[in-house]
Amino acid sequence: MANRAAHLIFAVASMLLTAAGTGTAQRSATRASAPDPYPVATDTRLGGDDTQTRFVVDLSRKIDLRVFTLADPYRVVLDLPQVTFKLPAKTGETGRGLVKAYRFGLVMQGGSRIVLDVGKPVRIEKAFVLDATEGQPARLVLDLAAVDRETFMRTLALENARPMRAPDRSQYDRDANKGDPRPIVVIDPGHGGIDHGTRAAGGDITEKALVLEFALILRDQLEKTGKYRVVMTRTDDTFVPLGERMRMARTRQAALFISVHADALRKSEGEAQGATVYTVSDTASDSEAARLAENENRADVISGIDLSHEPGDVADILIDLAQRETKTFSLHFAKTLVTELRNVARLHKHPLKSAGFKVLRAPDVPSVLLELGYVSNKEDLKQLTSGAWRARTATSIAQAVDTFFNTRLAGAAAGAR
Ligand SMILES: [Zn+2]
């Protein structure tokens, strides 16, 4: 049996490694004009079946590699030094054998990652990187074999897979000006790095880029007022886990958390347009909100975060009490935001919704998630990419933030009287 497996792997290996040669000369010719500071991934291949699968990545030079598996859902994660991915469009969207699909991208400065979704439990048989040889690029080779869940879980425990550590963000806390009484507003541009979010224009326009550009404009608008300290969960194309975004708001004792996104519908799901403001709730306000929360909550799965140690929903009574007040404030800001946005942006026909968004679960920070519009809608996309639309929408959000804090302070003063 072991022999047969080895033979199969060998057959697949020869096939894949031979196929690797073609087209290499052409690719290096086009690359020669602009040398990349990082190793470049130029092609990928999958071979085998649902008992044995080989994954190969062509690289411009040899790199280090760390591989581990994750459960629920089953994934194989390859951690690499920072790599530039110059791969054909739609790479990874479909799989073969044990691999259903895969994604790749930056997870932190200096670190890239490839995450393979596997349909069932697997064992990593081999994982290595070959030096370039004459006419052949350097190649990363990963061999996977199907195993039963029990074996998979046992290996997982033994592997002691170190889940990716979130980038060190303690400087945010050190930078905090403790004597500054101004409220902290956290702006959270969704997705980033390996997690692209929704896409448009055949993949050229990504949600992660759109919402970052918008969030930076919003930050500038809020800072210009001089009334707030603004903290960004990211300012570049880096992946930040959902829990980390929420923690950043909590450790800074933020007064408001605004997560910025852009939705998309598949053709089969119909047409929708306009901005929507979401708050957190245990049960979704409608099926569209449920679908969206499920998509947005997938960010960690997509990026190969180990979710098995995450605490479940905390049923602590104190948290529940804090949450009630937080929920009231969240809803108050959401309503204010919808009122302001109505003047400058197209709104969804039901612009105020709720669902179980992980990123909004801070029990002590009023939080909303703003879907600016649908990248799948032509008119929305035009606005989302328009400088004028971005500027006036950011202004109206800043106005909503003002109103929120003014009425909140007025409410507190009235209560004290
Ligand atoms: Zn999103």
Q: Could you report the per-residue pLDDT of 60-93, keeping only the tens digit for each?
A: 999 999 999 998 899 999 999 999 999 998 899 9
What six digits make up the tokens of 84? Answer: 């530039």
Distance from the alpha carbon of residue 199 to the mean position of ligand 1, in angstroms: 10
Q: Model's pTM, two decimal places?
A: 0.78
Distance from the alpha carbon of residue 383 to the mean position of ligand 1, in angstroms: 17
Residue 271 has pLDDT above 80, yes or no: yes
Distance from the alpha carbon of residue 213 to the mean position of ligand 1, in angstroms: 14
**Distance between CA atoms of 34 and 74, rounded to whole angstroms?**
38
Say which range, 89-93, 209-213, 410-414, has the weakest mean pLDDT: 410-414
- Assign 35 a pLDDT band (cuts: 50, 70, 90): confident
Domain boundaries, the chain: 35-159, 172-306+315-416
Three-point CA angle 240, 191, 38, nearest 5°: 70
Residue 23 has pLDDT above 60, yes or no: no
Write down the pLDDT at residue 320: 66
Residue 2 has pLDDT above 80, yes or no: no
More confident residue, 368 or 168: 368
Residue 127 has pLDDT above 60, yes or no: yes
Q: Rounded to whole angstroms, what are the CA distances from 206 to 154, 199, 240?
A: 38, 5, 16
Say which range, 154-168, 196-210, 314-328, has the weakest mean pLDDT: 154-168
Q: Do 128 and 141 meet the contact criterion of CB atoms below 8 Å apart?
A: yes
Distance from the alpha carbon of residue 265 to the mean position of ligand 1, in angstroms: 12
Distance from the alpha carbon of residue 197 to the mean position of ligand 1, in angstroms: 5
Distance from the alpha carbon of residue 296 to the mean position of ligand 1, in angstroms: 5
Distance from the alpha carbon of residue 189 to the mean position of ligand 1, in angstroms: 9
Distance from the alpha carbon of residue 225 to the mean position of ligand 1, in angstroms: 27
Distance from the alpha carbon of residue 206 to the mean position of ligand 1, in angstroms: 10
Write down the pLDDT at residue 411: 63
Write down the pLDDT at residue 268: 80
DSSP, res 417: -
35-159 classified as CATH 2.120.10.30: no
Distance from the alpha carbon of residue 92 to the mean position of ligand 1, in angstroms: 20
Distance from the alpha carbon of residue 190 to the mean position of ligand 1, in angstroms: 5
Distance from the alpha carbon of residue 299 to the mean position of ligand 1, in angstroms: 8
Range 380-408 average pLDDT: 95
Write down the pLDDT at residue 237: 92
What six digits make up the tokens of 357? Answer: 């968004």
Write down the pLDDT at residue 156: 82
Measure CA 198 to chain center: 10
Q: What is the average pLDDT score of the chain?
A: 85
Distance from the alpha carbon of residue 392 to the mean position of ligand 1, in angstroms: 21
Say which range, 139-148, 228-237, 313-322, has the weakest mean pLDDT: 313-322
Distance from the alpha carbon of residue 340 to the mean position of ligand 1, in angstroms: 22
Distance from the alpha carbon of residue 370 to the mean position of ligand 1, in angstroms: 9
**Distance between CA atoms of 272 and 378, rounded to whole angstroms?**
10
DSSP bridge pairs for 142: 55, 127
Distance from the alpha carbon of residue 369 to the mean position of ligand 1, in angstroms: 9
Three-point CA angle 198, 203, 206, nearest 5°: 45
Distance from the alpha carbon of residue 252 to the mean position of ligand 1, in angstroms: 23
Distance from the alpha carbon of residue 147 to the mean position of ligand 1, in angstroms: 34
Distance from the alpha carbon of residue 348 to the mean position of ligand 1, in angstroms: 16
Structural domain 172-306+315-416, CATH architecture: 3-Layer(aba) Sandwich (3.40)
Residue type, 403: T
Distance from the alpha carbon of residue 245 to the mean position of ligand 1, in angstroms: 14
Handedness of CA 246, 247, 248, 254 (dihedral sign): positive
Judge whether 35-159 and 172-306+315-416 match in fold.
no
Nearest alpha-carbon partner for 217 in 397, 398, 394, 384: 394
Write down the pLDDT at residue 346: 94
Residue 171 has pLDDT above 70, yes or no: no
